[in-house]
Amino acid sequence: MKRLLFPLLLLSTWAMPGVVSAQKAGGTTGWTADNGNGTFTNPLQWGDWPDPDVIRVGDWFYMVSTSMHYVPGCPILRSKDLVNWEMAGYAVDRYNEDPRYDMKGGTLYLNGSWAATIRHHNGLFYVGFCTPSGWGTEKGHFSICTAKDVKGPWTRTIFPEFLYDPGLFFDDDGKVYVVHGQGTLYLTELAPDALSVKGKAVKIWQGGIERPQGSSAPNGKYGMEGSHVYKINGYYYIANPAGGTEGWQVCLRSKSITGPYESKIIYQDESSYPNNGLHQGGMVQLKNGDWWFIIMQDRGPIGRVPHLLPVKWVDGWPILGDNGKGFVTGRKPDVGKTFAINAPATSDEFNTPQLGLQWQWNHNPDNSKWSLASRKGYMRLQASYAASLKEARNTLTQRVQGPFSQGTVEMDITGLKEGDVAGFGVFQDPYAFIGVKKEAGHTVLVMVNDGKTIDSIGGISQTKIWFSAVATDKGFTASFSYSLDGKKFIPFGDQLKMGLGLPWTANRFALFNFNTIAGSEGGDADFNWFHFTGGRQ
């Protein structure tokens, strides 16, 4: 039942436990791996940076990650020491191959970029990824994006061929290949510019890898995917994960790129986040000759998080971590210098002409209905029609983080119109949000969880309101609160049990404004800032 706002305020003037004031929240970036004493603690980022691949170009390391349907796509981070990272850019501005990326005629959740690969050759960066036509299908397409600078501009070439979980490789004889496939692995030669397929796919590996001792995965043999290719001391090495969430890392090697290949499990450990094993990633060599491996671990609705592991070569095999087992804290890579502690940006005052690189839209945005310039210092979102948040255009998102993260926003609701629903939430399937709705000429505070309105309060007359959401990996819950003065936050609604109804994409903080009346012209929601706090506890 809808309640009036003012009687509630007489009873609820305490701050929500765990809620940090907006002023304090803006000063932190969340989880950092650097301990400040020459050591680091995994994970590198405790957020959703799945399917990592990594290269070194000069003094910089670059890591690319999967981003599915979020836009811009294929986020690229950079670092000087493999521990402290910052956003560098995106390889894909938007997806133009299907109107459903614009939420016209449907949606394309789980599409976009899968299992990205990154390489640098003859002055160009190359990022490749596959786009399945649907979950569990063997159809889709493959893309290569090229740029002289990771900041862009990038040029994308879409292939008619579908090369699943691609690993791009430039051989020293001038030939270019992609290793791809799931279970059965194939080698496809590309043209010298890597922008078209030259030859037919050649089968180079078939068969499963027996579950190693100590794994919590069911007994049996498991196929491989997520290939990344290297040539070291005359051997071709292909790094592959197997076993899924409880998985492990495998390496194939051969003197010939077409095989035959022998295999070895090079890492199997679940101790850092039982029972989830580390699997899938890429390897990189430092200037001093050392090798390191960045590898991911499923952490449920928080996401698939990257870890950094040292590589020790044993009998010609790259063995990860501590003799193939756990590695949580250790000495940082020896890059010859010490660099400042850093992490990808989170908080945003919305006072720059360009949108911060920490943000991604849910599907392609409608660029005519958002602005950082219409009102200086604000992100303005203009509502378009949508039946629910899942179909709403211009939902602006960034990753939640573990083990704890809190997002807080200040929103001006002066410009809202009849039918508008605007606010702040945690988005996945299910999703939940706290916001305001304009109905029958009134402004109503609402909390929606899994598509259902859990609570509502009428009688809001002010023009500013503050919302906060707290996410934690303890039970994977998110809680919500609001404030009328930006200081005292009042819990509202119930907890969201964060899930993964959209497989392989983690939960995200989300700013939104949509209109529920078909044919109506929506109003404006102005977000003054987004403040993030979180990290180690």
With a CB cutoff of 8 Å and minimum separation 6, the contacts of 458 are 2, 3, 4, 5, 442, 443, 444, 445
> What is the overall mean pLDDT for the chain?
93
| pLDDT score recorded for residue 134 | 65
Is residue 447 domain-shared with residue 514, that is, in the same domain?
yes
User: Tokens 């039970």 appear where?
Assistant: 475
Answer whether residue 205 shows pLDDT above 80: yes
**Residue where a domain terminates, one of 331, 355, 389:** 331
| pLDDT score recorded for residue 27 | 38
Answer whether residue 451 shows pLDDT above 90: yes
Is residue 520 domain-shared with residue 451, that is, in the same domain?
yes
With a CB cutoff of 8 Å and minimum separation 6, the contacts of 511 are 379, 381, 395, 396, 397, 409, 424, 527, 530
Is residue 50 domain-shared with residue 179, that is, in the same domain?
yes
Q: How far is CA 113 from CA 88, 91, 520, in A?
A: 17, 10, 34
Q: If you average pLDDT over residues 322-336, what whole number do you get? A: 96
| pLDDT score recorded for residue 459 | 84
Domains: count for the chain: 2
User: Does 33 fall in a domain?
Assistant: no
Helix (H) / strand (E) containing 6: helix 5-11
User: Does 116 fall in a domain?
Assistant: yes
**Residue where a domain terminates, one of 331, 364, 379:** 331
Is residue 179 domain-shared with residue 293, that is, in the same domain?
yes
| pLDDT score recorded for residue 537 | 65
d(CA 234, CA 256): 9
Tokens of 103: 């939420």
Q: If you average pLDDT over residues 439-461, what whole number do you get? A: 94
> Which CATH number belongs to the domain containing residue 90 in this structure?
2.115.10.20
Global confidence as pTM? 0.94
Is residue 372 domain-shared with residue 440, that is, in the same domain?
yes
User: Which 8-state DSSP code applies to residue 473?
Assistant: T
d(CA 306, CA 60): 18
User: Does 219 fall in a domain?
Assistant: yes
| pLDDT score recorded for residue 536 | 78
d(CA 531, CA 19): 12
Answer whether residue 11 shows pLDDT above 60: no
d(CA 167, CA 179): 5
CB–CB of 248/265 below 8 Å? yes
User: Does 84 fall in a domain?
Assistant: yes
Q: If you average pLDDT over residues 144-161, what whole number do you get? A: 97
Is residue 315 domain-shared with residue 351, that is, in the same domain?
no
Q: 456: how many CB neighbours lie within 10 A of its CB?
A: 18
User: Which 8-state DSSP code applies to residue 332?
Assistant: P
Q: How confident is the model at residue 9 (pLDDT cuts 50, 70, 90)?
A: very low
Summarised one tens digit per residue, pLDDT across range 227-253 is: 999 999 999 999 999 999 999 999 999
Q: Which residue has the higher pLDDT, 105 or 29?
A: 105
Tokens of 280: 């899938």
| pLDDT score recorded for residue 535 | 83
Per-residue H/E/C for 350-406: CCCCCCCCCCEEECCCCHHHEECCCCCCCEEEECEECCCHHHCCCCEEEECCCCEEE
d(CA 66, CA 50): 6
Catalytic residue among 48, 51, 81, 298, which?
51
Is residue 401 domain-shared with residue 366, that is, in the same domain?
yes
Is residue 107 domain-shared with residue 206, that is, in the same domain?
yes
Instruction: Give me the long-range contacts of 199-207 (CB less than 8 A, separation at least 24).
Output: 202/258, 204/179, 204/257, 204/258, 204/259, 204/261, 205/238, 205/252, 205/259, 205/261
User: Does 35 fall in a domain?
Assistant: no
Is residue 307 domain-shared with residue 371, that is, in the same domain?
no
| pLDDT score recorded for residue 25 | 33
Longest dimension (CA), the chain: 77
User: Does 223 fall in a domain?
Assistant: yes
Answer whether residue 490 shows pLDDT above 70: yes
Cα 295 off chain centre by: 14
DSSP per residue over 157-191, as a string?
EEESS--SS-EEEE-TTS-EEEEE-SSSEEEEEEP
Summarised one tens digit per residue, pLDDT across range 273-326 is: 999 999 999 999 999 999 999 999 999 999 999 999 999 999 999 999 999 999
Give percent above pLDDT 90 in the chain: 90
User: Does 34 fall in a domain?
Assistant: no
Helix (H) / strand (E) containing 9: helix 5-11
Can you tell me whether residue 299 is helix, strand or coil?
coil
Q: If you average pLDDT over residues 1-9, what whole number do you get? A: 41
Q: Is 102 annotated in the active site? A: no
> Which CATH number belongs to the domain containing residue 446 in this structure?
2.60.120.200
**Residue where a domain terminates, one of 331, 360, 386:** 331
Return the amino acid letter for 102: D
Catalytic residue among 34, 81, 165, 225, which?
225
DSSP per residue over 188-245, as a string?
EEEPTTSSSB-S--EEEE-S-EEPPTT--SPSSEE-B---EEEEETTEEEEEEEESGG
Q: How far is CA 171 from CA 56, 202, 234, 266, 440, in A?
A: 17, 16, 11, 24, 66
Helix (H) / strand (E) containing 491: strand 490-491
Summarised one tens digit per residue, pLDDT across range 517-530 is: 998 889 999 999 99
Q: How confident is the model at residue 15 (pLDDT cuts 50, 70, 90)?
A: very low
Answer whether residue 454 shows pLDDT above 50: yes
| pLDDT score recorded for residue 139 | 86
Q: If you average pLDDT over residues 137-153, what whole number do you get? A: 92
Is residue 357 domain-shared with residue 493, that is, in the same domain?
yes
d(CA 381, CA 512): 7
Tokens of 105: 């005629």
Helix (H) / strand (E) containing 455: strand 452-458
Answer whether residue 367 shows pLDDT above 80: yes
Answer whether residue 211 shows pLDDT above 70: yes
Using only C-alpha atoms, the chain has a radius of gyration, in whole angstroms, of 24
Domain that holds residue 8: 3-23+346-534
Answer whether residue 194 shows pLDDT above 90: yes
Helix (H) / strand (E) containing 61: strand 60-64
| pLDDT score recorded for residue 133 | 83
DSSP per residue over 82-119, as a string?
SSSEEEEEEEES---S-GGGGTSSS--TT-SBEEEEEE
| pLDDT score recorded for residue 135 | 59
User: Tokens 């003094």 appear where?
Assistant: 59
User: Does 285 fall in a domain?
Assistant: yes
Is residue 19 domain-shared with residue 75, that is, in the same domain?
no
Summarised one tens digit per residue, pLDDT across range 250-272 is: 999 999 999 999 999 999 999 99
Q: How confident is the model at residue 391 (pLDDT cuts 50, 70, 90)?
A: very high
d(CA 381, CA 367): 10
Is residue 322 domain-shared with residue 364, that is, in the same domain?
no
| pLDDT score recorded for residue 17 | 33
Q: If you average pLDDT over residues 107-113, what whole number do you get? A: 95
End-to-end CA distance of the chain: 38
Q: Is 51 annotated in the active site? A: yes
| pLDDT score recorded for residue 77 | 98
